[in-house]
Amino acid sequence: MNKTRDTYVIGHINPDTDSICAAIGYAALKNALADGERYIPLRAGELSSETRWVLEHFGAEEPLFMESISPQLYDVELQKIEGVAPDATIKSAWELMRKQDVTTLPVLGEGNKLLGIISLKDIAVNYIDSFDTHALAESRTPFVNIAKTLKGEIISGGRGCVSEGGRIIVAAGDEEAVMRMVRKGDVVIVSNRPEALEAAIKAGAGCCIVGLQTKISEGLRTLAHAMNCALISTYFDSYKAAYFINQSVPVSHYMVSEKLKLFHMSNYTEDVQAEMSKTRHIFFPVLDDDGSYVGFVSRHNNMVHTRRRLILVDHNERSQCIAGWENAEILEIIDHHRVGGIQTMAPVFFRNEPLGSTSTIVSKMFDEAGIVPDRQTAGLLCCAIISDTLLFRSPTCSDTDREEAAKLAKIAGEDMFSMAEAMFEAGEDLTGKSGEDLLGQDFKIYSAYGTSFGAAQTMCVSKMTLQRAEALTAPVMDMFRLRHELRYMFYLITDIREQSSYVFCSGDGAEELLSYGFNITDPENIRLEGVVSRKKQFIPAVLEALLAQSNER
């Protein structure tokens, strides 16, 4: 069975209602056609008050926000390295490294949470310090770890740990020498010498390791129990036991847990590669959105990934595309704007019609496929058509827009005009918004004749909203233009009822450009009668003026 692939359907940055609803509607249509793919609507910016009202009115979820479509670690095949628990022995960690042919392991707690990492270098340090007589005490090594590492058996006192201050002692000499040598809590290694074992127990040893599988008498077991001394039997001799015992230290004692360089699945691969190049480390742990360990990415990993698949709706210009679109595979473009400058690696399905809304095109495609959209999808598409055509007042509006909107309203069980009034009122709510918010809400960048300029638009139905929008945006127009590196910035506040737009601008020569394009006599108070469409009325006039200027140079 072929694995389902995801294809993302997305509108332009700084999306309007048509951009969002067309993406949701077209994804629904593609999923209904059931071609073995999964289509997911996305958004490339914040929702406007109007769009939010539309989604809430029809109970639709907000599309997932994505800042960039560039590959993320989600798209990379990570190295799935099995981890160890913090109480696992250094020996077991080393064996797991050999089994997986790796030099680094994650140390994992409950819920697969990353506690740290342990590397071959950390284990090598342990080997170099293999005769560190305080390692077991400092790490509070459990007796069960010691028994496991020495392939032994706990005879008595299996639940404890090596006490603080306990040293590793190899019992040598007679009983008196052992009594002088051993301090309370020490770990004492003895072989087949019952008298030395008895002396160590009486001296207060915390654990005695008896080598060569020496038989321990019942009397010594009783004494060990009374003195709270653990007994471990191993077939190792004293030398081997002393050599291997420090390998029983828990990995938590040697693991690196602070200032770990790690990544998350949502990190972009180019950012990951840049960060990895700054350090000598080879392996880096990767966590999911919940902070749980997923795998490792390596500095030598070539970041092989599958290009993300995109369908663009309501735009076809590079300046309006989500960041990273060049790294994606564009499959389709559904739009109603002028043809812009996007170049694709292969032929794509391109549908562009001179209609008032991209959602009108999507509605027609439902008709052509013989599929009736559900109430929610029909309602979203209807609202998008109403929004983009200003309830059929815009010069971009066609009979097709009216017909499709009426049909969609019937499916949704809504009165178009009542719904439009509520939608427009919600859209002009400026509560909590700044001038930057208004300029960036429905904002597009255009490039022509060597000039880049931006145009933002706000729709309103009351004079009070118009005045407040002007007051909020006027102080930040210049800063907004400079931040986006534009020569000119235009802001249209469109009065839906009066069918006109007030235009404010920034940039040296912007007023002259408007004067040329619209025959304006008073550049200080620009009110364009009958101009409501940025796409069909405002932008063409600006482009014509720019062309005239370029020809005069």
- Comparing CA positions, the residue from 178, 179, 187, 121 lying closest to residue 152 is 187
Query: What's 29-75 look like in SS3?
Result: HHHHHCCCEEEEEEECCCCCHHHHHHHHHCCCCCCEECCECCCEHHH
| Cβ atoms of residues 208 and 190 within 8 Å | yes
Q: What percent of the chain has pLDDT over 70?
A: 96
**Total-model pTM:** 0.64
Q: What percent of the chain has pLDDT over 90?
A: 56
73, 79, 102, 113 from 105: Cα distances, Å: 19, 11, 8, 13
Could you tell me the two tokens for 257? 């847990």
Residue whose structure tokens are 């029809």: 58
| Cβ atoms of residues 333 and 351 within 8 Å | yes
Q: How far apart are CA 8 and CA 3, in angstroms?
A: 16
CA angle centred on 183, ends 182 and 185, rounded to 5°: 110
- The top-scoring range by mean pLDDT among 57-61, 102-106, 115-119, 228-232 is 57-61
- For the chain, how are helix, strand and coil distributed in percent, rounded to 5? 40, 20, 35
| Cβ atoms of residues 270 and 51 within 8 Å | no
Q: How far apart are CA 73 and CA 288, in angstroms?
A: 10
Go through the chain and tell me how many residues it has: 553
Average pLDDT, integer, range 283-294? 90
Banded pLDDT at 130 (limits 50, 70, 90): low
| Cβ atoms of residues 352 and 343 within 8 Å | no
pLDDT value at 356 more than 90:
yes
Whole-number pLDDT of residue 306: 65
pLDDT value at 346 more than 90:
no
In 249-292, DSSP assigns E strands to 263-264, 283-287
464 burial type by CB count under 10 A (0-12 exposed, 13-18 middle, 19+ buried): exposed
Whole-number pLDDT of residue 126: 65
pLDDT value at 525 more than 90:
no
CA angle centred on 513, ends 352 and 494, rounded to 5°: 60
Q: Which residue did the predictor score with more confidence, 179 or 3? A: 179
pLDDT value at 528 more than 60:
yes
Q: Give the tens place of pLDDT for each residue, 380-416.
A: 999 999 999 999 988 889 999 999 999 999 999 999 9
pLDDT value at 282 more than 80:
no
User: What separation, in Å, do the N-terminal and C-terminal C-alpha atoms of the chain show?
Assistant: 63
pLDDT value at 125 more than 50:
yes
Mean pLDDT for the chain overall:
89
To the nearest 10°, the Cα dihedral for 267, 110, 299, 94?
180
Banded pLDDT at 234 (limits 50, 70, 90): very high
| Cβ atoms of residues 430 and 466 within 8 Å | no
In 93-196, DSSP assigns E strands to 104-108, 114-119, 153-156, 168-170, 187-190
pLDDT value at 524 more than 70:
yes
Helix pair 399-412, 358-369: axis angle to 10 deg: 70
Residue whose structure tokens are 């180019």: 270
Whole-number pLDDT of residue 2: 46
Banded pLDDT at 308 (limits 50, 70, 90): confident
Q: How far apart are CA 209 and CA 153, in angstroms?
A: 10
- The top-scoring range by mean pLDDT among 116-130, 148-162, 260-274, 347-361 is 347-361
Whole-number pLDDT of residue 311: 95
Residue ranges of domains in the chain, CATH in brackets:
5-71+308-427 (3.90.1640.10), 75-126+253-298 (3.10.580.10), 140-248 (3.40.1390.20), 435-552 (3.10.310.20)
Whole-number pLDDT of residue 121: 84
φ/ψ region of 363 (left if φ > 0, alpha if ψ in -120 to 50, else beta) reads: alpha
Tell me the HSE value of 329 on the side-chain side, using a 13 A CA sphere.
10
Could you tell me the two tokens for 356? 């008032």
